[in-house]
């Protein structure tokens, strides 16, 4: 059932403020031509709202997610909660998804700024959970079978002390994937998967597939998914196939180079997680060839551009950036990913460069998140050309795209 703009907003507001019936509300995306939504002075990409019972009474809990972490505030049901919800509704979110005990409300704001609400009735009533002490920041609980199979958790379902950093890395990547995919599907950038045509995810240069399996485990609890991993090592494919078989996971692991990977159908999501040096460029090149709607790439090593900077003519007055080896390597990291982001934008993608886990847990914590929009990339093309002219480098991704 669909409703008009004013009635739709009123219905949505009422559902979010229904302290007895609200299960969860989720706001994502940014309206076309509008600034990024701001909550408590921070630019955010996603907001979750639920009802919790505290010692001080029933509260509306608002959890907002910026590029790196979650921030939670509690508002007493009544005037404080109403003010908080009105403030959220005033922000330029593109999509709202609200689950109540008996209904699901989906609100989408059109390119012209018109809010359209669709409401459906649940087949069975759901009881809201209002516990405040639920485990936080755990999209994959410590005792999840996939974490045991990967050796991150022990037989008792507890994360091993030596694997805490890996667990944190897995959690934060899955959180970013969840937010990115939820937003992309809501905006129509990624199609809605079905049982007959599941979400097609390919991980290029998957290695031992820690993040691949974590992503699959998380996604399959929410939607149909088919995972394919590609790696040059037979040993990795054998290991991953055994893990998949033990877990009963519907996944394929292919031996071969990224450049030669052949898929029966183009993927919806391309992952390239810690593929070394120019292997990340090869993965991004294949993603662009497939016109993949969503791309998540966590680069590892940037030797190619670092080596070129040793012999290239450095523009004045920036010689100090490359004179010392350690500074040259760090600058090469930044320059390489800036060039990759510019090329993705040139090819019609919206690109964010974010830190997906604190540097204390892994030094390779940058993630390129790209969503295909088909936008005009001429401005980014000019920026890319200017960078090449200034620094005299030849990035691998540019060579792949411009020379085949």
Is there a cis peptide before residue 383, judged by omega within 30 degrees of 0? Answer: no
Q: What is the pLDDT of residues 359-371, one digit of tens each?
A: 444 445 788 999 9
Higher pLDDT, 178 or 293: 293
What pLDDT is stored for residue 109 in this prediction?
Answer: 83
| Residue 284, CA distances (Å) to 259, 368, 372 in order | 10, 10, 12
Which pLDDT value is given to residue 385? 94
Tens of pLDDT, residue by residue over 249-281, are: 878 999 999 999 889 899 999 999 887 878 899
Per-residue pLDDT at 347? 96
Secondary structure, 3-state, 31-44: CCCCCCCEECCEEC
Lowest mean pLDDT among 177-186, 193-202, 260-269, 283-292: 177-186
Question: What integer pLDDT is reported at residue 84 of this predicted model?
Answer: 95
Q: Which residues have a Cβ under 8 Å from the Cβ of 138 and sit 6 or more positions away?
A: 171
% of residues, the chain, pLDDT over 70: 94
pLDDT digits (tens, 9 = 90+) for 12-44: 999 999 999 998 898 888 887 889 899 999 898
Tokens standing for 123? 């087949």
Which band of pLDDT confidence, cut at 50, 70 and 90, is reported for residue 179?
confident
Is residue 299 within 8 A of residue 336, CB to CB? The reply is yes
Region 160-170: mean pLDDT is 87
> Phi/psi zone of residue 377: left (φ > 0), alpha (ψ -120 to 50 degrees), beta?
alpha
Q: State the alpha helices, DSSP H only, in 105-152.
A: 145-149
pLDDT at 135: 45
DSSP labels, 3-56: E-HHHHHHHHHHHHT-TTTEEEEEEE---TTSPPPEETTEE-SEEEEEEEEETT
What's the pLDDT score for residue 370? Answer: 95
- Average pLDDT of 139-150? 88
For residue 340, pLDDT over 70 is answered with yes
Mean local confidence (pLDDT), 68-82: 89
Alpha helices in 48-112 (DSSP H): 79-90
CA-to-CA dists, residue 139 to 3, 171, 250, 281, angstroms: 34, 6, 20, 30
In the predicted model, what is the mean pLDDT of the chain? Answer: 87
What per-residue confidence (pLDDT) applies to 364? 55
Q: Report how far residue 311's alpha carbon sits from residue 206's, in angstroms, rounded to the nearest whole number.
A: 33
Per-residue pLDDT reduced to its tens digit, 40-52: 998 988 899 999 9
The per-residue pLDDT for 357 is 56
Cα(386)–Cα(269) distance, rounded to whole angstroms?
A: 30
207 phi-psi bin (left φ>0, alpha ψ -120 to 50, beta other): left
Return the pLDDT at 359: 44
How many Cβ atoms are within 10 Å of 306's Cβ, its own excluded? Answer: 21
- The 3 state secondary structure assigned to 313-343 is CCCCCCCHHHHCHHHHHHHHHHHHHHHHHHH
Angle CA 286–289–290, to nearest 5: 90
Query: What mean pLDDT is predicted for residues 52-69?
Result: 86
In this predicted structure, what is the pLDDT of residue 225?
92
């Amino acid at each position: 059932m669909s409703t008009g703009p004013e009635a739709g907003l009123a219905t949505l507001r009422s559902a979010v403020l229904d302290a007895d019936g609200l299960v969860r509300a989720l706001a994502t995306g940014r309206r076309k031509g509008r600034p990024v939504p701001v909550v408590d002075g921070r630019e955010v990409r996603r907001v979750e709202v639920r009802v919790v019972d505290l010692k001080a009474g029933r509260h509306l809990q608002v959890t907002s997610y910026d590029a790196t972490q979650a921030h939670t505030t509690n508002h007493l049901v009544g005037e404080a909660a109403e003010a908080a919800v009105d403030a959220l509704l005033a922000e330029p979110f593109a999509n709202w998804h609200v689950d109540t005990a008996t209904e699901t409300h989906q609100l989408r704001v059109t390119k012209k700024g018109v809010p359209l609400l669709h409401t459906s009735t649940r087949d069975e009533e759901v009881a809201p959970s209002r516990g405040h002490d639920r485990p936080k920041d755990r999209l994959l609980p410590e005792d999840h079978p996939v974490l045991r199979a990967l050796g991150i958790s022990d037989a008792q379902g507890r994360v091993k002390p030596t694997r805490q950093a890996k667990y944190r890395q897995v959690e934060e990547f899955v959180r970013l994937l969840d937010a990115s995919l939820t937003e992309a599907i809501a905006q129509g950038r990624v199609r809605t998967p079905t049982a007959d045509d599941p979400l097609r995810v390919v991980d290029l240069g998957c290695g031992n597939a820690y993040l691949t399996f974590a992503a699959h485990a998380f996604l399959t609890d929410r939607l149909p998914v088919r995972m394919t991993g590609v790696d040059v090592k037979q040993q990795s494919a054998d290991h991953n196939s055994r893990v998949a078989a033990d877990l009963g996971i519907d996944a394929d692991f292919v031996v071969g180079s990224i450049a030669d990977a052949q898929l029966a159908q183009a993927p919806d999501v391309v992952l390239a997680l810690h593929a070394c040096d120019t292997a990340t460029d090869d993965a991004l090149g294949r993603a662009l060839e497939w016109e993949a709607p969503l791309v998540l790439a966590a680069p590892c090593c940037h030797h190619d551009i670092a080596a070129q900077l040793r012999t290239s003519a450095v523009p004045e007055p920036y010689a100090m950036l490359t004179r010392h080896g350690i500074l040259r390597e760090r600058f090469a990291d930044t320059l390489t990913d800036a060039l990759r982001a510019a090329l993705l934008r040139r090819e019609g993608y919206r690109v964010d460069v974010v830190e997906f886990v604190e540097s204390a847990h892994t030094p390779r914590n940058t993630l390129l998140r790209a969503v295909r929009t088909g936008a005009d990339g001429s401005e980014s093309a000019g920026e890319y050309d200017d960078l090449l002219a200034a620094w005299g480098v030849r990035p691998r991704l540019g060579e792949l795209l411009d020379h085949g």
